Structure 1
Amino acid sequence: MSRSDPHLRTPSGKSRLRSFNIALDGTPGRFNAITDVPGVAVGYTTLIAGGGPLQVGIGPVRTGVTAILPRPVGELATPVFAGVFSQNGNGELTGTHIIEETGAFNLPVTITNTHSCGLTRDGTLRWMSRVLPAALDSAWGLPVAAETYDGFLNDINGHHVSFEHVASALDGATDGAIEEGSVGGGTGMISFGFKAGSGTASRIVEWQDRSYMLGVFVQANFGKRRNFTIRGRHVGPELAEPAIREGTPRAEKGSIIAVVATDAPFLPHQ
């Protein structure tokens, strides 16, 4: 693999896990990303500004919006089969009731910080009314919007995410290689005491002599350093401090949003 190989580095040159010669199971798709699933696109708006002590309404700003399109823009009104699972029920996720009722959903998915979740939901509807107005002419819109909390690094009560930022992430959604880490909704996230955020991967799955693509995208914001595990090895206790945040340790709490996409058939007629 070359240094420009998307399995090793993101488009901006950030190292991915495989660049450290850590063996991983399975065969990834071309970009090792959720965008390996045909028709899926991802876009980001990343907001980084200011530093120093918190001043509500001013900063520091470390947040953003992630947009995931399950179909090309012109086909977003066409539903895709879907399901939803919550391990502990703490995170907010709009649009889940219709998924549980019908087993399907349409329109883009957005992921952001906890206090901007409603805005990205509404921003998605505003964007849809601009790019595909016929989709909302005679039907309701119940887009999926998800959140994790970035208030330890971000001025979350300053409400720095705007409708324009949502539209920018949606307009910028693309297939192919995508960024990871401190981008989009993951900009202000922490996992296992490290700076975390947005991550993605894909695997080719063989079933009855046919190949299908499975792609995953996560916004990670959870975990204590001592619990960090790689390839079954409990490496957290061996890793040097200091932790990402100085001062009184915060209580162990957090969350992760995972979006899974596939082109495998869900029903026999597909």
Structure 2
Amino acid sequence: MDQVPTHTTTPAGKARARALAIPLQGTPGPANAITDVAGVLVGYSTIIKGEGELNLGHGPARTGVTAILPFGHDGIGTACAAGYHSFNGNGEMTGASWIEEAGSISLPILITNTHAVGPCHRGVIDWVARHKPDVANQWLLPVVAETWDGYLNDINGSHVTGDHAIAAIDNAASGRIEEGSVGGGTGMNCYAFKGGSGTASRIVDYGHRSYTVGVLLQANFGSRRELTIAGVPLGHALADDNPMESYFSGGSTGAGSCIGIVATDAPLLPGQCKALARRMPLGLARTGTTGSHFSGDIFLAFSTANSDALNGRFPKGPPGDESYSHMDFIPWGRMDDFYAAVVQATEEAVLNALVANDDMTGRDGNRSPALPHAKVLAALKARGAVAG
């Protein structure tokens, strides 16, 4: 596959997985990001402050907020089909009960750290009340998900506020987006390397047109011994420099969780969105994880087609002849290519979160090393996974 410059580096110039010539299946979109789905915006609030020892709950902050807007700022309050899947429930995604009930979402999706769900939830409500008062006059059930960053971040220090959630929504933009230690992914770890935010997309040809499937992950899962890239087990080759293993006294370092979001412009039913969300663990598995008990792996997929067909707002007046909603959708028997796109984009999003990163030191001097690009490339070449 031809390498497009925007596919190999982030906007800040950090390498992505394709810069290492890692073989990856499928055809990416122009930015190889969830924002390749038309109308979808992503914004970050990144909080990095303080050094040294933890001090009475006010120690170093390595955390933040990620916001995903399915229909942009103007479309907040517009419903889209959605489906939720919990692979391992040691985590939180608010609003899941309503997604299961109504099969839709209509607000920004926020991802942050485990102890910051509350202020982010309030921040979404405050943003909507300020900018969309008609929407806020009805009930609001924001979707806020989390992963644990307490190894690097003073997670009890209340560093994330509602203002950070609002800023992430305000900052949301289309096009290429940054990856690695940004937004909610700032303090996260993956396979005991520095992890965080990663994204990728795939184009699915369907008859006379093409659709886009985009993925964004907050990658904070996996033990070092599990790491697999391009089918090559790398845990043994990369076993050194593993301070997290020492921190957890040899226990599971697969803790921390993964939140995954799938976006597509293909017309889908809520159950089909749920089916896409269920495929995300298969993409994670390609990178080696076996699904730790301590890792909350929770996924959400939404479709921007059939805009507002599934709205659940208070009705106005009695029902009439036009009081019906209608939806187009891909036949179930033709879903396989969309499933494959989710798996492929999920795998690449994990690798991007790992590759587009640097060493980070946080609370109590805890350190998370970056994935060593040269060692990875050498190991893949030795196994014939990439050209020598």
Residue 269 of structure 1, aligned match among 328, 347, 363: 328
Contact 2:223–2:252 at 8 Å: present in 1 too?
Answer: no
Contact 1:33–1:178 at 8 Å: present in 2 too?
Answer: yes
What is the aligned partner in structure 1 of residue 149 from structure 2? 150
CA-to-aligned-CA distance 1:110-168 (integer Å, 9 cap, x gap): 0000000121011101011112222112x200010000000111000111001111111
TM-aligned CA distance change 1:77 to 1:174, over 3 Å? same
> Distance in 1 between the 2:116 and 2:32 partners?
29
> Distance in 2 between the 1:6 and 1:76 partners?
29
Q: CA deviation at 1:239?
A: 1.1
The runs of at least 4 aligned residues of structure 1 exceeding 3 Å deviation read 1-4, 244-247
> Distance in 1 between the 2:46 and 2:10 partners?
16
Contact 1:33–1:200 at 8 Å: present in 2 too?
Answer: yes
What is the aligned partner in structure 1 of residue 258 from structure 2? 256
> What does 1:19-30 correspond to in 2, within 5 Å?
19-30=19-30
Contact 1:3–1:9 at 8 Å: present in 2 too?
Answer: no
TM-aligned CA distance change 1:26 to 1:180, over 3 Å? same
Contact 2:63–2:184 at 8 Å: present in 1 too?
Answer: yes
> Letter of the aligned partner of 2:224 in structure 1?
R
> Distance in 2 between the 1:16 and 1:164 partners?
30
> Distance in 2 between the 1:158 and 1:258 partners?
26
> Distance in 2 between the 1:209 and 1:26 partners?
19
What SS does the aligned partner of 1:74 have?
coil
What SS does the aligned partner of 2:159 have?
coil
CA-to-aligned-CA distance 1:3-56 (integer Å, 9 cap, x gap): 992201111111000001111111100000000001100000000011222223
> Distance in 1 between the 2:22 and 2:200 partners?
15
Q: How large is the RMSD of aligned CA atoms in angstroms?
A: 1.8
> Letter of the aligned partner of 2:22 in structure 1?
I
> Distance in 1 between the 2:108 and 2:203 partners?
24
Q: CA deviation at 1:60?
A: 1.1
| Range with bigger deviation, 222-231 or 250-259 | 250-259
What is the aligned partner in structure 2 of residue 94 from structure 1? 94
> Letter of the aligned partner of 2:203 in structure 1?
I
What is the aligned partner in structure 1 of residue 43 from structure 2? 43
What is the aligned partner in structure 2 of residue 8 from structure 1? 8
> Distance in 2 between the 1:69 and 1:236 partners?
36
What is the aligned partner in structure 2 of residue 165 from structure 1? 164
Q: CA deviation at 1:232?
A: 1.3
What is the aligned partner in structure 1 of residue 312 from structure 2? none
> Distance in 2 between the 1:151 and 1:18 partners?
30
Contact 2:62–2:154 at 8 Å: present in 1 too?
Answer: yes
What is the aligned partner in structure 2 of residue 32 from structure 1? 32
> Distance in 2 between the 1:63 and 1:2 partners?
35
> Distance in 2 between the 1:133 and 1:86 partners?
32
Structure 1: 5+ residue stretches without partners: none
What SS does the aligned partner of 1:6 have?
helix
What is the aligned partner in structure 1 of residue 129 from structure 2? 129
- Aligned-residue sequence identity (percent) comes to 53
What is the aligned partner in structure 2 of residue 238 from structure 1? 237
What is the aligned partner in structure 2 of residue 64 from structure 1? 64
What is the aligned partner in structure 1 of residue 106 from structure 2? 106
TM-aligned CA distance change 1:79 to 1:133, over 3 Å? same
Q: CA deviation at 1:250?
A: 4.4
| Range with bigger deviation, 82-91 or 201-210 | 201-210
Q: CA deviation at 1:57?
A: 3.1
> What does 1:185-196 correspond to in 2, within 5 Å?
185-196=184-195
Across the two proteins, how many residue pairs are aligned to each other?
269
Contact 1:7–1:31 at 8 Å: present in 2 too?
Answer: yes
Structure 2: 5+ residue stretches without partners: 270-326, 330-388
**TM-score, length basis structure 1:** 0.95
CA-to-aligned-CA distance 1:198-238 (integer Å, 9 cap, x gap): 00000001123421000000001111101001111111211
> Distance in 2 between the 1:207 and 1:90 partners?
37
> Distance in 2 between the 1:229 and 1:95 partners?
33
**TM-score, length basis structure 2:** 0.67
> Distance in 1 between the 2:164 and 2:146 partners?
15
Indicate the structure with greater helix content: 2
> Distance in 1 between the 2:202 and 2:99 partners?
25
